[in-house]
Chain A
């Protein structure tokens, strides 16, 4: 019998607690930094670009990465400066950020939430990235945004369109420049009414995941508000490649409009199937049958080829904006020229939003005079700017969502090349797509307070 004060169980417990403490990621420990996570050295600052480099959205990720490279080049004083010369804020002077040369590391989200979190975590913990940006999916954006909030890192979202990113899943450390499902609905509805009339019956096919639900809800509510009736809504599996059995019943359903709440490969396949089944030529209820794709992507429109001809949809930005609609969209041509001369083709809207987010972050740090995430949050909240291609824009303080005009486009009947697939129908002014911060479609979450990691 032992008289020791240490029982076997006690030692094990203590050991486990100590091990767990040691295993806590470095960024969660207050003593690992001075004031905030990953404070940069005096000579350089590291940004983390988390984009899909493999998987179905790899091409979109590649375009995002091109834009990031360009942004870094311009911030460091290289190239022609791009949008630095048109940006309404004039604090960026091509000497990096607060005098530090901008360097970057990249991660591969694979468009999977767990992989995206792992790559973001690696860039934060191993590479010392002070800001994470990028992505091509709302699931990834929400997951990485939550991670950055925990880690005390700023997250500047890439392409993410679900209401939830700045709705129920919003975080104080996260910011979205890209538009959202609600804005698509609000922008499209009046144009759909003008083009197709107010007496229409819509049939929705919706991708069975978060973005699909919020997009369907947004389009459904905005079209019903102007008099359309929703005949049916059908969820389709995300892995579906052949939509024929979902498309086939549409013509006999009493509907005369098909809304495809699909993105990426889903959009390419469902739209192609719908056109193959003759929906574009069909008549229903005495009217021409129409198809609507709420969120357009130039890169994915290429996959659908001629099938996008005449189909209405919405975009965050288009490279032809300034040429066609004038100076209000200044910055567009500067960016298109920089990007086009470097890479040989015009940028996608994903590239644009990523480039702009990088500049906005750099600008906020410079205006704040600090890399401290809370100072950056303060600088970005309520920030009004112009000259970045979308016209006058507000980063709303209440939800960290950018508010700006929304572009409504239509697939071109006779595109001249693979980069000129859509034509701008109209631009919906920002006032028409603005909503209250407590709008029901965005309810359920709280921004919380910024986390500097300390």
Chain B
């Protein structure tokens, strides 16, 4: 590796539950990654702008409000529009199983539901980076 993996952890929408996002941000940092956390209430546009500006390898979206089917694909689409196709997008939160396939088709590579160990996520990121 030339440089540490850079990750943007983002909270799209109006949801204020950031326990998961913060725990994951810290676990990724402890695993040697460089982590930027956006804070609450980010629009998809703001998230994409931050991802581009920070030149991240991974965007992690966390949402517990049920608006994932609207907001997650929006982030993926905007990244594509910006011509960014080598960023790994992952998501997590209270997301029913039946929504996962649709989110994957929309460009979210993996969805981590409650109870996922952070170690599993770290491994996933290391094995699935789109930039090598």
Q: Do A and B come from one complex?
A: no
Residues of chain B at the chain A interface (Cβ within 8 Å): none
